[in-house]
Structure 1
Amino acid sequence: MLQAKTLQFLKDLVANNNREWFQENRKRYDDAKADVEKLTAHLIREVHTFQDLGNLQVKDCIFRINRDIRFSKNKEPYKSNLAIAIGAGGRSSGKIDYYLHIQPNGHSFLGGGMWSPTTEQLARYRQEIDYNAQELKDIIEVKDFKAYFPEIQGESLKTAPKGFAKDHPELDLLKRKQMFFMHAYSDKEVISKDFAEEVMKGIRLLKPYCDYMNYILDHTEE
């Protein structure tokens, strides 16, 4: 569904990451953005058939290509990717959603999961794992899920978190500081006519995990 010229623009941007070149090639960027917006609109419609997204609009999903360079040693003004987040509330919801990252040379991927939890959220996650890890394992150890998302991504503690035994049977899960999943796409896959369908396959597989994590991280006892 995406066009080859969208990936080519991003490739050229990497080699010419400056404002002068970007302004000279503004029409190419506008075309690439419109290409991603078209894909986003399609994905919103498809996801909305099985998940309430509220009044989610395309503009709520797409991330800015401009980088925040105020506190970064890297002063390149633009990102080398185009990215979207699909979920109720869009990219700024604070919820776990479906993140699609478009970047040439095999760096495109679909992902989702616990990326930057608060201290309280991490405590709730660990409490749930201690109480009933099987519910999570029944989601992420399903054959089809593991085939598409074979590895847990993200950082872990080196030792058991405070308050948990070093021989806890679910120690690997308890040590997680992050827990997200990614499936990479080749450039050939990204520009294939079946790309949107392939992304939807991944989103459907991710949904039970995202639902579980959103409930755990947002749930508070009354």
Structure 2
Amino acid sequence: MINKELLKFLSQLEKNNNKPWFEENKPRFKKLEEEFKDQVSGIKSLLNQHDIIEKAKVFRIYRDVRFSKDKTPFKAHRSVNWMREGKDRRGSYFMSIKPGNSVIGIGFFGPEKEDLLRIRKELEVDAQELRDIIEKPAFLKTWGTFQGEQLKTAPRNFDKTHPDIDLIRFKNFFFTKTLTDKEIQSPNFFQEVDAAFKTARPFLDYMTDVLTTDLNGESLL
């Protein structure tokens, strides 16, 4: 489970987001961070039982404030991205721990321009296979519907009256699941996260197939 002391630290950091407070509490943070990284490694081991993870990236707690109006120096959350290995396994798994607002996520948070066009072209030709995956009761129960930003109208050179324009308009293709503080402190939390990620595999496999083939289904690898 996620240590309640980590949640306590993050809550206090949000109220005291300044360098003097953080420096005073840095030994405490380092201890909690070491435990968090061990837990991230544990979830990676679970994922590797049904997927192949290249690496787990724990994001730094320090914020880059150079181009931000928000000059608070630290992130009041801890987050990690588990990246799938190889060109034939696209997409990633994500988790963010924040008191009262923890989430897990899967998919494509910022696809490159070429990938975004390829996905849209596939959906323009036939979106039913994707709908069959994301509209299954088990998937909907776990992940709900697509998150992220949409265009207000059709992308350039796409028909705004296309029957699948609701999907084509998306700029990101990912799902998130909100978690309560009670859920992330459950003794079975890591297993539940792994089970949710496993439910997402058909979606990731579908998107991988799209992004590694052309519109004729020929491999690009």
Taking structure 1 as the reference length, the TM-score comes to: 0.89
Bigger proportion of residues as strand: 2
In the TM superposition, what is the alpha-carbon distance from 1:219 to its structure 2 partner?
Answer: 4.3
Matched residue, 2:206: 212
For 1:217 and 1:118, how far apart are their aligned partners in 2?
Answer: 11
Select which of 69, 74, 82 maps to 2:78: 82
Name the SS for the 2:96 alignment partner: strand
For 1:13 and 1:65, how far apart are their aligned partners in 2?
Answer: 11
Give the conservation status (yes or no) of the 8 Å contact 2:134–2:145. no
For 1:201 and 1:208, how far apart are their aligned partners in 2?
Answer: 13
Matched residue, 1:92: none
In the TM superposition, what is the alpha-carbon distance from 1:110 to its structure 2 partner?
Answer: 0.5
Name the SS for the 1:183 alignment partner: strand
Could you report, residue by residue, the CA deviation over 1:107-146 in whole angstroms, capped at 9, with x for unpaired residues? 1010122222222111101111012211211211111110
For 2:198 and 2:123, how far apart are their aligned partners in 1?
Answer: 23
Identity score, percent: 36
Select which of 125, 144, 156 maps to 1:131: 125
Matched residue, 2:9: 9
Matched residue, 2:65: 69
Give the conservation status (yes or no) of the 8 Å contact 2:92–2:108. no
In the TM superposition, what is the alpha-carbon distance from 1:210 to its structure 2 partner?
Answer: 2.2
Give the conservation status (yes or no) of the 8 Å contact 1:121–1:218. no
Matched residue, 1:102: 97
1:19-168 equivalent positions in 2, closer than 5 A: 19-54=19-54, 56=55, 60-88=56-84, 96-105=91-100, 107-168=101-162
Specify whether residues 171 and 31 from structure 1 end up closer, same or farther in structure 2 by C-alpha distance, changes over 3 A only. same
In the TM superposition, what is the alpha-carbon distance from 1:62 to its structure 2 partner?
Answer: 0.8
Give the conservation status (yes or no) of the 8 Å contact 1:160–1:175. yes
1:176-215 equivalent positions in 2, closer than 5 A: 176-215=170-209
For 2:201 and 2:2, how far apart are their aligned partners in 1?
Answer: 23
Shift >3 Å, 4+ stretches:
217-222
For 2:208 and 2:6, how far apart are their aligned partners in 1?
Answer: 33
In the TM superposition, what is the alpha-carbon distance from 1:205 to its structure 2 partner?
Answer: 1.3
Name the SS for the 2:45 alignment partner: helix
CA RMSD of the aligned region, Å?
A: 2.0
In the TM superposition, what is the alpha-carbon distance from 1:17 to its structure 2 partner?
Answer: 0.7
* Matched letter for residue 12 of structure 2: D
Name the SS for the 2:154 alignment partner: coil
Name the SS for the 1:14 alignment partner: helix
Q: Is 1:170 paired with 2:167?
A: no
Q: Please, which moves more after superposition, 152-161 or 204-213?
A: 204-213
Q: Please, which moves more after superposition, 175-184 or 4-13?
A: 175-184
Bigger proportion of residues as helix: 1
Give the conservation status (yes or no) of the 8 Å contact 2:103–2:177. yes
* Matched letter for residue 202 of structure 2: P
Identify unmatched segments of 5+ residues in structure 1. 90-94
* Matched letter for residue 106 of structure 2: G
* Matched letter for residue 182 of structure 2: K
Residues matched between the structures, number = 214
Q: Please, which moves more after superposition, 33-42 or 209-218?
A: 209-218
Give the conservation status (yes or no) of the 8 Å contact 1:109–1:184. yes
Specify whether residues 65 and 218 from structure 1 end up closer, same or farther in structure 2 by C-alpha distance, changes over 3 A only. farther
